[in-house]
Amino acid sequence: MLYILYLAISKAYQNKGYGKAVVNEIINKYSNYRICLNIEEVNPKFLNNNQRIKRKNFFQLLGFESQDYLFSNYEVVTFVTMSINGDVSYKEIHALFD
């Protein structure tokens, strides 16, 4: 399993295909691995919900699927785990942060 902890593209290079290229490179290079990441939960109660929706849609368009559980880091932020090349269990994600 490969876990993407953080991925950011400089604002000057956003919406130009660089993020898609980076993620596709990771997917291609590690095609034998389940690849996963956590994104903030989509919920209209959050001020940045539109950004969260955009982020989720971005990864869905690249083939990532949301897992059927929520993950919280120290009860501060609730995340949705997304993966490609196979499912990743809550137990596996939780073990990364223990």
The pLDDT tens digits for 53-91 are: 999 999 999 999 999 999 887 667 899 999 999 999 999
- Tell whether pTM > 0.85: yes
From CA 19, how far away is CA 26, in angstroms rounded?
A: 11
93 touches 81 (CB < 8 A) = yes
Q: Give the count of beta carbons closer than 10 Å to the beta carbon of residue 65.
A: 14
Show the tokens assigned to 75. 């009860």
Q: What gap in Å lies between CA 35 and CA 28, rounded to an integer?
A: 11
Tokens, residue 97: 């942060």
Q: Are 81 and 41 in contact (CB under 8 A)?
A: no
